[in-house]
Structure 1
């Protein structure tokens, strides 16, 4: 059941829509496109023998060879295109089909393959027919002709141009349909990922042990109320359910968490960022989310192509969109602070009480762009950073290698961190780290050019090495509301006060304990 929520900001309405998950790849099924061909090349293949004779993907018949103005109302505007290697999908259909099943994806592989074959057939048959017709007309025009015959050939040329316009439109529609279906195929999956649903996920590490309390404990909801730190009731009146006001020391606690986290990850080589919090819906899609799906987690801006971000992963992923990076710049490591907005469609029950599942929150997100062969090691680095941060705060937590059925479409592999929340009486997710390999970069168009080396002598145009897609990884360093849950519930004292963990004290203006307010 979809949850109906709205936000009003300056007369602009943000509606809930539904979000689907996203995965990762082997070296990924999303490989480079073959070069597109112009109509001139297709009709005169011998003029440029070094180019491929057939495009993998066709917006191929739009060319300077026949100068034609297409009426604006007949122009088919194509959607953005991912660099999907359909030939690889076709050649590895058994593995791709198994991956789709293991990830519980609704992608239709057979339809994708059918559309791909149709596209190839239309290109081959129609191009050959048009080439033959053009040759006939061209040969006839060489000879001496009566004015009437020449006029007839001119009319045939015009007819050919109209046929080309129609073919162009058909190919664009077919290409867009193929792209739409193929973009639903999830990333391939790391061979060590357990196959199955969430209950098949594997424990990687358990850190610490639950604190033993010698008094009746409270959950963060009650603690926040008793200490005048959180106001859910006023926020519900102002904005609706799942919103909140942080007050008094809770505001200092949020700022301390953010500043401490950023300072820690900067020491590990990450560049701090603040990001736009409204982005184009196409960027959301290219990162692997569906902003207009049935149960999307994304708020869309009505009457526009923009969305509120659900994570800084999206705007950070877009920083280098459609660019070729110098290899020496890699890896690029970012730590982005942003507010995040999620519809939380379908979320209900006691597990969502208080701050655990809210529509708006602050977060610090780590994001890495790297060489393909390095992404596995950076994935381990990211989960290691998360473990260090949470250990230093004294949390009892576990890290989990998530099963295939619980991976989002972009993720090749994902590690979750769940911390003990004594007031809730259970572990709750506080972080995750995902290796998306080249799933996102093939959609965002982020490549790098390897530097020449004796081990990589292959050169492309102009003696330059051919470009490759970078791999992208993301990990949550600090999701503020769930960190506050852990801090309040684990550091509560019998007198109702909250002790500030040692690492945060320098960022709390000297405050060491949050005490009850005098009435």
Structure 2
């Protein structure tokens, strides 16, 4: 990593809270109670900074013990101060008592200041930790949960290993005639990467005519679909404050050491990689009543990603691009409902992909593929015959209270004695439509080389006004 890239990464990870983005709140006692679980989460995620995170976790334990010892000393000092103050109030206004009181005040400051410094260190350590991981997650390799419109016979009683022993090479065969890049740039002139590379840089593109109509049809279809599932619709800003980005968990990982984020120079702002960030920020510092939850929002925005892996001919085309339209799902709910909500988001995505007639596999992702906020994640990979592989088109994650603690998003609840409690919501996010990759999948699965025509998926015909192009 060069110095300039390293600086930009640090700018995000070490972003200090702004006036509008809160500092966050952590319970070190909860972390210590789940110490072994946090240790497992760090080890199994395999982040590049694993050793540092393990040191931070150990630091929370060690410093907590030191704080406990100093708190005991502080309490003893305060007791003695109270006794001397009471004696003085009772009339014993002696030089000796005033001298003792003065020394006790000095001792109090001498003990309390290191406690404050240690609390600040513990806060930074807590903030650095990734989320816990769901016990059902695989450790190293994704698990195939189900298939969507499979081209082969599926035995639902058999748990399949991702890219495992089963050989589907006779069913899922690469066909270079179905390569979307060749079809759209040479056969039909509906897409132009070459000119865009001159005007904007690599992995940028122009879309034309029917492809623009297909793009808009997919956006409209996704928004309408989400609304039918109870989501309210919004559009969000395309950039956000870097403290908000950091609070949402966007920081370097083992897969992203140079960051996916485009920072805006000389500002505390950056272009968003997903509207998950701006949606999470919309309700920061909010306190809901329990009856208001769940809250479900669906946003359309531009997404900007460096996509450091997107160089070279192996990823030519729409699979990895720097800017695109994306429809995102976001939910705030109570902790007891977040696992159920994740399944609902996954099922919504399955229903949407199935309605487009695409073949795909639903994967439960392993711990070493999870970003810092995710407790559990599903990806859906669609068959792309021109690419000759399955490629990710949606993802959905349960972030539990990782984001809500950093953004102070809570709800009011009551205990058995009707006392009001403030609890942290759980947040979940999911792709509703990553437009370029779905265009890729539609073109490669619906193109007829003999007629040089692309059939429009039936559900999009009313929005496109045509059955093929």
Equivalence map 1:63-212=2 (5 Å): 81-105=23-47, 106=50, 107-108=53-54, 109-126=57-74, 128-129=76-77, 132-133=80-81, 136=84, 139-140=87-88, 143=91, 153=98, 170-195=114-139, 197=140, 200-209=141-150
Does the aligned pair in 2 maintain the 1:84–1:442 contact within 8 Å?
yes
Equivalence map 1:467-482=2 (5 Å): 467-482=422-437
Give 1 or 2: higher helix fraction.
2
Distance 1:103 1:326 in 2: 35
Q: For residue 183 of structure 1, give the secondary structure of its aligned residue in structure 2.
A: helix
Give the superposition deviation at 1:231.
Answer: 1.7
2:160 is matched with which residue? none
Change (3 A) 1:217 1:467: same
Equivalence map 1:362-441=2 (5 Å): 362-441=325-404
Does the aligned pair in 2 maintain the 1:3–1:16 contact within 8 Å?
no
Equivalence map 1:241-280=2 (5 Å): 241-280=202-241
2:409 is equivalent to residue 446 of structure 1: yes
Distance 2:11 2:369 in 1: 17
Does the aligned pair in 1 maintain the 2:249–2:373 contact within 8 Å?
yes
Distance 1:513 1:485 in 2: 15
TM-score by length of 2: 0.82
Does the aligned pair in 2 maintain the 1:279–1:315 contact within 8 Å?
yes
Give the superposition deviation at 1:480.
Answer: 0.7
TM-score by length of 1: 0.75
Change (3 A) 1:443 1:492: same
Distance 2:385 2:75 in 1: 68
Q: For residue 421 of structure 2, give the secondary structure of its aligned residue in structure 1.
A: coil
1:282 is matched with which residue? 243
Gaps of 5+ in 1: 6-13, 21-76, 515-519
Distance 1:91 1:428 in 2: 39
Change (3 A) 1:458 1:309: farther
Change (3 A) 1:138 1:80: farther
Does the aligned pair in 1 maintain the 2:176–2:386 contact within 8 Å?
no
Change (3 A) 1:215 1:240: closer
Q: For residue 347 of structure 2, give the secondary structure of its aligned residue in structure 1.
A: helix
2:183 is equivalent to residue 223 of structure 1: yes
Q: For residue 392 of structure 2, give the secondary structure of its aligned residue in structure 1.
A: strand
Change (3 A) 1:137 1:468: closer
1:62 is matched with which residue? none
Distance 1:384 1:145 in 2: 75
Give the superposition deviation at 1:349.
Answer: 4.9
Does the aligned pair in 2 maintain the 1:82–1:179 contact within 8 Å?
no
Give the superposition deviation at 1:92.
Answer: 3.2
What per-residue deviation string (whole Å, max 9, x for no partner) do you get for residues 307-358 of structure 1? 2211111111122211211122111111111111122235545553211111
Give the superposition deviation at 1:17.
Answer: 7.0
Does the aligned pair in 1 maintain the 2:173–2:385 contact within 8 Å?
no
Identify which of 282, 288, 296 aligns with 1:333.
Answer: 296
Q: Over aligned residue pairs, what C-alpha RMSD do you find?
A: 3.3
Change (3 A) 1:331 1:91: closer
2:455 is matched with which residue? 499
Give the superposition deviation at 1:98.
Answer: 2.2
Give the superposition deviation at 1:235.
Answer: 2.0
Equivalences, count: 433
What per-residue deviation string (whole Å, max 9, x for no partner) do you get for residues 347-400 of structure 1? 545553211111211111111111221112211111111111111111010000
